[in-house]
Structure 1
Amino acid sequence: MSATTVIIAPPPTPNGNLHVGHIAGPYLAGDVHARYLRADGRPVIFTTGTDDSQTYVVASAAKLGTTPQDLCALSAKQIEHTLGVMGISIDGFAPFDDGYRQTALDFLTELHAAGRLRLRTGTFPYLERTGEFLMEGLVAGDCPVCLAESRGGLCESCGHPNNFAELINPRSTIDPTEPVAFREAEILVLPMEEYRDQLAAYHENQGAGWRPNLVQLFKEVLSRPLPDFPITFPTGWGIPAPFPETPGQVLNAWAEGMAASMYCTWWAAGDRAAATDEAWRAEHSAKLVYFLGFDNGYFWGGTHLALLMAHNGKYILPDTIVCNEFYELEHEKFSTSKGHVVWAEDLVNEVPRDLIRFYLSLTCPENQRTNFSRAAFEQITSERLVTPWNLLSERLGKRLDDVRPAGPLPTSAEGRARAAAMEERFRTCYELSSYSLARAADLIISQVQRLSRDAADAEPGDLLLETRTLLSCAAPILIDVAEQAREAGVALGLHGEPADEIPPFRLPLIATPLRTTS
């Protein structure tokens, strides 16, 4: 049996629900790969949770007039529900509970005991009136690398880290009119320069084939001194840090990332007797894959990686990071505050989710920013998926009506060869070395068109075999039409060697683009 693949989609910050931009990024991509692996008979654990320690929760709660605790509780329920209605097939949605907290504390306390952490003096933006240090989601300014607007810690535009005092014209995100000063504080850090050689070797050997923007980011990052990575912060929101050098401080939410992912994996695996980091231990040789947005790339491919390395071979390292760019709405950035947003839950209540999953796959931001347009969504799903798919269903039904088969129909060598070629093309889209949802969705289009075009003259057995192969290969994206076929007795799966005979079946229709709402 092959090693288990652990798929991580970064835990979303629970400061609101998920919009279609979120789904079009790591969650749909991770889901499709997980479904592909399951169909291929390979063991997989696909998981996520929520990232409650982020200071973005504090900033959002202040704007909404609620408490961070209440916002986390509400948002976590909304996020889990939205993942479910979108068909994101996580094996478990881990809670932010005492087990999570203890896993994070154990992971970092072990490094502290081994002398891997250092006490450093950092300079932070500071509000004199309230006595608050500002970091992460509590401070905004201009990025010192690309000059775009940035939050503290990391720039979403260029992906480079900044350690707060480097921001140009810093301001509070809660009250931008409040004067910002600077004050020093002693914090514990992971000295990233001590892991330079390991990180450089990893990215040269493991990351060379990743998507170009992430590859370029680490070429730039590794060409200059690596900033220390804060493990603790002098703020009140987060898990209290247990280290005697930093009394009253909390853990940096980003320092929890690897422990959080371990806990999510443990929760999803379901073996409550196992240690929460068991699946990540090196002796089990699991394959670790991250699906994430470019804005998280530095942490997951840099600081998180160094934290794993600091445990001296105890844990697996990621085999692959599949990174996506930003997804826009009508060619503008999604903005909840401005009402420029399409909530995934609302959209799935209006239109069949297979259409949403297909369109998001076709337009997903794999290598550059792409766009969700409601008009384009309706036109493309109707013209390129629903109409030709349902025409194929009609023509397949007519061929079966013509021959009235009493049992399984034979397939020809030529038909089996075409089915095998089709499956192989889909595999190139779903395997990580050449992973592409956009090409998979486009391949669905081309194969539906081909089969529909040739249906009248095709041998019925060959047409059935190739249609079943299409259904099986499209199933990770078109989950509902595939389920309809399974319920009707169609044996879907990645079959390898195509069968020399096949039972007759009817191809389920795909619902029309717009559903009448009550």
Structure 2
Amino acid sequence: MSTTIVVAATPTPNGDLHIGHLAGPYLAGDVYARYLRATGASVIYTTCTDDSQSYVVSTARRSGTTPRELCAASTAAIGRSLSAMGISMAGLPPIGDVYRRTVLEFVTTLYEAGRFRKRTVRLPVATRSGTYLFDGLVTGTCPVCLASSSGGACEACGHPNNYDELLDPRSTLDPDDPVSYRDTEILVLPMEEYRERLTAYYAAQAGRWRPHAMQLIGELLAGPLPEVPVTIPAGWGVPAPFPETPGQMLYPWIEAMPAVMYGTWWSAGDTAVPVDEHWRAEHHADVVYFHGYDNVYHWGLMDLVFLLAHGDRYVTPSANVCNEFYNLTGEKFSTSRGHLIRAADLLAEVPRDLVRFHLAHTAPEQARTDFTREGLRDTGYRRLSAPWNALAEAMSSVLHGLSGTLPVSPAGRRRAAAMLARFRGCYELPGYSMNRAAETVLTQLDRLRGLAGDPTVVPGDLVLETRTLLAGAAPILIDVAEAAGGDGVDLSLAAEPPVSVPVFRLPRLPEEASHETADHRDPSVPDLLPLPLSAGAGVRRRSVRDER
């Protein structure tokens, strides 16, 4: 059996996570991985911190710390937040000698195969400090859509802006330091040389990507493809080993592919095999990426070219699941303005299953969506936990005095099969949608409450269909699923509905605290329902980015 490698966009360790980040690729990838495991598939769900990013340098400067100290503190915070949200990864792999060796072997192989070209490019420089400005070290105006943009790529339109393409550039380290330009020799990977293979790849992907992301790919293919920097004059990152570019670093974005290969190897736990073993083409792994629209260029095009540059050595992704931006009460999450809610703060106040369900229900899959205090309360308590617990009580009444295994009618089996098909349609690619899965949970929950109140209901039918609801909700509602699994309830999504089913009791979901309880809460605990905004340093991601 081949393995599915699920890759969530690699986080930059320049701060902790907020729910805008988690509502993007991390929860979506987790739900997909949990669904696959419930069908019996072999899954490795992984990511890897992106320590070399320039945003580490700019955030460290603003915070009065060093990039190394910031990476260490932020990686620990990110790991805690992923764990608290129940993201089913083995953890965040350490960025040490094995990581750096993996990156260097990946790029050195391409160098020795003659894939890189030496180019003289015009780079912006902070005149007084002499610092070369790229990616998070520079801000200006996107030359394509004219929105405010960092260097490298525009989060608004998704188009790249390398070298001197950004309009009105300013240093983020010192906005008063005037910007000049300097001709500099670097190594690049010419994307244009891979156009034929890229065109064939995207033709095969037709209908498998969400439309907005594929529209951007079409826009990029319509013009000359950019030359990707391989080396860059910088003071932070992995030193480039090439004699043509002494003193330069590897361009941070080109670490992504060897980084996730390393993350896959580390997460799999078998250190006896080569680091890139799981990605070798002969193993036929199914690779699925989860990332944000602002990284379609990186994960959807640039990283693909680096795989193709290795010839037929590696598999290429079978799907890119791309999310849009998540808003907070009508505006983008913003660390600089304190317009955010930290995952840790929210989870300290609101039960995890309810948070996961609301984020799944409102995740920005194909358009921007909005997180609100009222929405979380309405979805989590009124629409989910209250009717869920009412169903649990009704089941207890119907099953009073019954035990063992109950027969299921043909009609009950047909309804359970229809439920399974509906959930599978939500979780399978290319139509994967947490939104529809969460809405299906609510729809079936309402139906089963009515079924439980029907005096003619066949008890075995109610048990089977409720178990099917629980199995379909389990990739999202992980705590209630764990409670049921601990009681021996079969939550597999692989088998067809049986002719008989063991009796079980539906675990309850947390209910909303009474006003009296809320009035006597510990005042030191943040009041997140209603949810005030909590301020502090955030994290620049390869998916849902903050406004800085």
- TM-score normalised by the shorter chain: which range applies? over 0.9
Structure-2 residue corresponding to 1:178: 177
Distance 1:281 1:92 in 2: 23
Match of 1:440 among 437, 441, 453: 437
The farther-off stretch of 369-378 and 242-251 is 369-378
1:69 to 2:68 alignment: yes
The farther-off stretch of 246-255 and 493-502 is 493-502
Look up the SS of the partner of 2:332 in the other structure.
Answer: coil
1:48 to 2:86 alignment: no
Moved over 6 A (4+): none
Aligned residue identity for 1:30: G
Distance 1:341 1:433 in 2: 31
1:290 to 2:294 alignment: no
Look up the SS of the partner of 2:430 in the other structure.
Answer: helix
Look up the SS of the partner of 1:449 in the other structure.
Answer: helix
User: What CA deviation, in whole Å up to 9, does each residue of 1:282-323 have, x standing for no partner?
Assistant: 011101110001111101111111110010100000000000
Aligned residue identity for 1:413: P
TM-score (norm 2): 0.92
Distance 2:55 2:494 in 1: 46
Aligned runs of 1:86-105 on 2, under 5 Å? Answer: 86-105=85-104
Distance 2:124 2:84 in 1: 41
Structure-2 residue corresponding to 1:169: 168
Pairwise CA distance, 1:207: 4.3
The farther-off stretch of 335-344 and 206-215 is 206-215
Structure-1 residue corresponding to 2:453: 456
Distance 2:97 2:41 in 1: 32
Structure-2 residue corresponding to 1:416: 413
1:405 to 2:415 alignment: no
Distance 1:114 1:487 in 2: 53
Task: State the identity %.
Answer: 56
Aligned residue identity for 1:51: D
Structure-1 residue corresponding to 2:337: 338
Structure-1 residue corresponding to 2:322: 323
Aligned runs of 1:493-504 on 2, under 5 Å? Answer: 493-504=492-503
Pairwise CA distance, 1:453: 1.1
Distance 2:250 2:88 in 1: 30
Distance 1:177 1:164 in 2: 20
The answer to whether the Cα contact below 8 Å between 1:412 and 1:462 also exists between their aligned partners in 2 is yes
Structure-2 residue corresponding to 1:351: 350
Aligned runs of 1:77-476 on 2, under 5 Å? Answer: 77-401=76-400, 404-457=401-454, 458-476=457-475
Look up the SS of the partner of 1:432 in the other structure.
Answer: coil
TM-score (norm 1): 0.98
Structure-1 residue corresponding to 2:534: none
Aligned residue identity for 1:416: R
User: What CA deviation, in whole Å up to 9, does each residue of 1:19-63 have, x standing for no partner?
Assistant: 001100000000001001111000010001200000000001111
The answer to whether the Cα contact below 8 Å between 1:354 and 1:479 also exists between their aligned partners in 2 is yes
Distance 1:497 1:331 in 2: 43
Look up the SS of the partner of 2:497 in the other structure.
Answer: coil
Look up the SS of the partner of 2:356 in the other structure.
Answer: helix
Pairwise CA distance, 1:495: 4.5
Distance 2:322 2:403 in 1: 50
User: What CA deviation, in whole Å up to 9, does each residue of 1:238-259 have, x standing for no partner?
Assistant: 1000000000000011011100
The farther-off stretch of 495-504 and 16-25 is 495-504
Pairwise CA distance, 1:333: 1.1
The answer to whether the Cα contact below 8 Å between 1:15 and 1:60 also exists between their aligned partners in 2 is yes
Aligned residue identity for 1:119: K
Distance 1:475 1:21 in 2: 22
Distance 2:285 2:31 in 1: 19
Cα distance change of structure 1 residues 275 and 207 upon mapping to structure 2, 3 Å threshold: farther
Distance 2:121 2:329 in 1: 41
Give the RMSD, CA atoms, in angstroms: 1.1
5+ unaligned residues in a row in structure 2: which ranges? Answer: 523-548
Distance 1:18 1:267 in 2: 22
The answer to whether the Cα contact below 8 Å between 2:3 and 2:285 also exists between their aligned partners in 1 is yes
Aligned residue identity for 1:431: E
The answer to whether the Cα contact below 8 Å between 1:351 and 1:513 also exists between their aligned partners in 2 is no
Aligned residue identity for 1:261: V
User: What CA deviation, in whole Å up to 9, does each residue of 1:369-391 have, x standing for no partner?
Assistant: 11111121112212210111111
Look up the SS of the partner of 1:428 in the other structure.
Answer: helix
User: What CA deviation, in whole Å up to 9, does each residue of 1:60-106 have, x standing for no partner?
Assistant: 11111111110000000000110001000013421111111111100
Pairwise CA distance, 1:232: 0.4
The answer to whether the Cα contact below 8 Å between 2:329 and 2:371 also exists between their aligned partners in 1 is yes
Distance 2:300 2:453 in 1: 52
Pairwise CA distance, 1:439: 0.2
Aligned residue identity for 1:427: R
The answer to whether the Cα contact below 8 Å between 2:135 and 2:150 also exists between their aligned partners in 1 is yes
Distance 1:191 1:456 in 2: 66
User: What CA deviation, in whole Å up to 9, does each residue of 1:432-479 have, x standing for no partner?
Assistant: 121000000000000000000121222111000000011011000000
Structure-1 residue corresponding to 2:533: none
